Amino acid sequence: MFRKRVKKGKKNLIFSIKSDRGGEFINHSFITYCEEHGIKHELSCPRTSLQYRVVKRKNCTLQEMVRTMINEYGLPQYLWAEAVNTSCYISNRIYFYKNTSKTFFEIYYLRKPNVSYFKVFGCKCFILNTKDNLEKFDAKSYEAIFVGYSNTSKAYRVFNRSTLTIEESIHVKFEEFNAFVKNVVEIDSLGEDMEKITLKDSPIEE
């Protein structure tokens, strides 16, 4: 799919690729595909990470981003795939390519990326209920968790807490600062408790 997209959209051809010796690359189907399209496949030596350090460093960066994103809001780990996709989506639009002042997105599409629609991963949000026949007192929205951006349409991806499914929609209201406000409240309450303890234990002069 990527080869066809590059060939048709950018008028470029893939002459060679580099990979490790994973089973997804060393198999009859992939070898045949490369031979049919004249693609040279270079492999790294077994257990030699120095030969694919760029990919390894990129994977480590994504892994650290995913760990932070999931732990920030205490999200379940089965959302790791959504976190990886969102990390990759964001990094292509904010990180500069080496020795340039351009992002990967800008180099490929020849225009600056728009990041005004970015939201905090894992924040609480509400998705409009457009599927069910609403009764008079039914809720008009579902509580959800923001988990990323759609690759096929201009929409957000959210985890619906009611149906336990991933949905894509533009009718989403976000509460990006709900966790931050919660932390501030907890800190303030802790400070008040500590103050009460101090006053209680200390002698009071009449």
Query: Is 18 a member of any domain?
Result: yes
Host domain of residue 14: 1-43
Query: Is 11 a member of any domain?
Result: yes
63 vs 182: which has the higher pLDDT: 63
Query: Is 54 a member of any domain?
Result: no
Query: Is 10 a member of any domain?
Result: yes
Instruction: Name the pLDDT band for 143 (thresholds 50, 70, 90).
Output: very high
Instruction: Name the pLDDT band for 37 (thresholds 50, 70, 90).
Output: very high
Instruction: Name the pLDDT band for 191 (thresholds 50, 70, 90).
Output: very low
Total domain count for the chain? 1
Q: Please tell me the predicted confidence (pLDDT) of residue 148.
A: 95
Strand 16-19 relative to strand 40-43: parallel, antiparallel, unpaired? parallel
| pLDDT for 202 beyond 80 | no
Contact 136, 96 (CB under 8 A): no
Over residues 48-57, the pLDDT tens digits come to 666 667 777 8
Q: Please tell me the predicted confidence (pLDDT) of residue 186.
A: 43
Contact 105, 92 (CB under 8 A): yes
Query: Is 112 a member of any domain?
Result: no
| pLDDT for 67 beyond 90 | yes
Query: Is 30 a member of any domain?
Result: yes
Contacts of 172 (CB under 8 A, 6+ apart): 125, 126, 127, 128, 144, 146, 156, 158
Q: Phi and psi for 186 in degrees, rounded to 5?
A: -65, -40
Over residues 105-136, the pLDDT tens digits come to 999 889 999 999 999 999 999 998 877 677 77
Query: Is 69 a member of any domain?
Result: no
pTM beyond cutoff 0.85: no
